[in-house]
Amino acid sequence: MADARSALDDFLLSLSASRRPRICLVPTAAGDADRVIAAFFEAFVARECEPSCLRLFGAPEDPAAGLARQDVIYVSGGNTANALAIWRLHGVDRALRDAWERGAVLGGVSAGANCWFESCVTDSFGPQLERLDDGLGLLPGSFCPHYDGEERRRPVYRELVATGFPPGYAADDGAAVHFVGTELHEVVTSRDGAFAYRVEPGSETPIEPRPLP
């Protein structure tokens, strides 16, 4: 995470108004895996921020209180459907909406990007890709990550949208879509050739990205 995603990590922190933002990892989608948590701290401990982690497996402290203190919330990759189910059990879904409404920066990778939308393309149910229609719904429409990183992502997403799945956005690996409120603000990339796309029935429109330093 520290090497491959350093430009995107810096970009995420830059969106906070705080000079030393409090950033919290929510690794539920990864089952609170130690390796994911260790990689997060390795990536952020040397930056001008205050990293922390919200674990929900075991005996969690009050999740809502913990998230209410954060300037930036970073959701890991993993199983989108599992994360959504566990969040709803612990009230984390409401805490994330509260954080969004008060202006905290919300972000993440893979499942950590899927979760903010109404719908997404996911491998949560097995190696095949399927639609998921009960996301947090902070952002309207649908999302598909790994658009150039996994062979089946593009054809599955385009077929779903062509047959009634909500239109939305897709992102190549190394590309990030930045929303302000519910409106797309820009696309940024950390590698050459990475794009995001607006996907509607019968069309796929590249969105010109801004390369990060």
CA 203 to chain centre: 24
Residue the block writes with tokens 């607006």: 198
Residue the block writes with tokens 């719904």: 137
3-state secondary structure of 132: strand
Question: Considering only CA atoms, which of 179, 36, 172, 47 is closest in space to residue 117?
Answer: 179
> Cα(14)–Cα(20) distance, rounded to whole angstroms?
10
Q: Is 90 a known active-site residue?
A: no
Catalytic residue among 16, 76, 119, 146: 146
Q: Can you read off the two tokens belonging to residue 43?
A: 């990536």
Catalytic residue among 76, 110, 119, 190: 110
| Residues classed as catalytic | 110, 146
